[in-house]
Copies of this chain bind each other. A is one copy, B any other.
Amino acid sequence: MRILIVNVNTTESITDAIAAQARAAASPGTEIVGLTPRFGAESVEGNFESYLAAIAVMDRVLSYDEPYDAVIQAGYGEHGREGLQELLTAPVVDITEAAASVAMLLGHRYSVVTTLDRTVPLIEDRLKLAGLDARCASVRASGLAVLELEENPARAIESIVEQAQRAVKDDHAEVICLGCGGMAGLDRQIEECTGVPVVDGVSAAVALAESLVRLKLKTSKVRTYAPPRPKRIVGWPASFAK
């Protein structure tokens, strides 16, 4: 099967890292295609950039013209998953929700460790809407921006480990979710430092996407995610115009 994994920001090196992490998690026979949006912010850290990414991700997927079996939106706490579900027949998995769903199989409560403090409310809101917040002990910020994760991995691990340890000790988290696509690959290291299972959202999403494809399950089309009604769409982006 072929799974598209779409980065939410326009930095190619993050797409590469995400795709590599996805490939490491994929089963034999699963092809991972990493996609970078054609427009938007170099890193997504707030509502404006996230809304723009929502459209850019839809645009990128719609303009991909090969067959595929499932789509992963690889942004933590970002907008747009519902729109993709309307537009596509293939199943769609968001890494925020994938990580939470998997974490809930492993411990009584989980925490998310993310990048900047300003993204915490976005993640909290996504988990609330997804109905996956009841067992969320906390969403904690390491204080590092997305691009800093790439620039200084050692410091990134240190600050993430610190927040993960506080989540376990103070918030009674039993599982840690890595709350940023750019954190892909850090999970085993952090697991060693904290003693609790660490769920990487990209890996979790790959596993869930493969699961849906194998189970032949697709998005329900009867109400919320019914295809958009045929109507005139003006202007931009070209992929949407009718």
Contacts and interface: CB of A to CB of B under 8 A. Distances in A.
Interface stretch (A151-159, A178-186, A192-200): A192-200
Contacts of A235: 10, 38-40, 56
Contact of A199 (B41, B217, B219): B217
B39 A105 contact: no
B212 A102 contact: yes
Which of A54, A121, A195, A222 lies at the interface centre, i.e. has the most chain B CB atoms within 10 A of its CB?
A222
A223 B172 contact: yes
A208 to B, nearest CB: 6
| Copies in the assembly, this chain | 6
A46 B229 contact: yes
A210 B228 CA distance: 35
Using C-beta atoms within 8 Å of the partner chain, give the interface range for chain A: 35 or more
Interface string A123-134: 001001111111
A207 interface: yes
B46 A106 contact: no
Nearest to A188: B216
Contacts of A120: 172, 223
A83 B48 contact: yes
A205 to B, nearest CB: 10
Interface of A: 10, 25, 27, 38-43, 45-52, 54-56, 58, 79-80, 82-83, 85-87, 91, 93, 97, 101-102, 104-109, 117-118, 120-122, 125, 128-135, 145, 168, 172, 174-175, 195-197, 199, 203-204, 207-208, 210-212, 214-215, 217-220, 222-226, 228-229, 231-237, 240
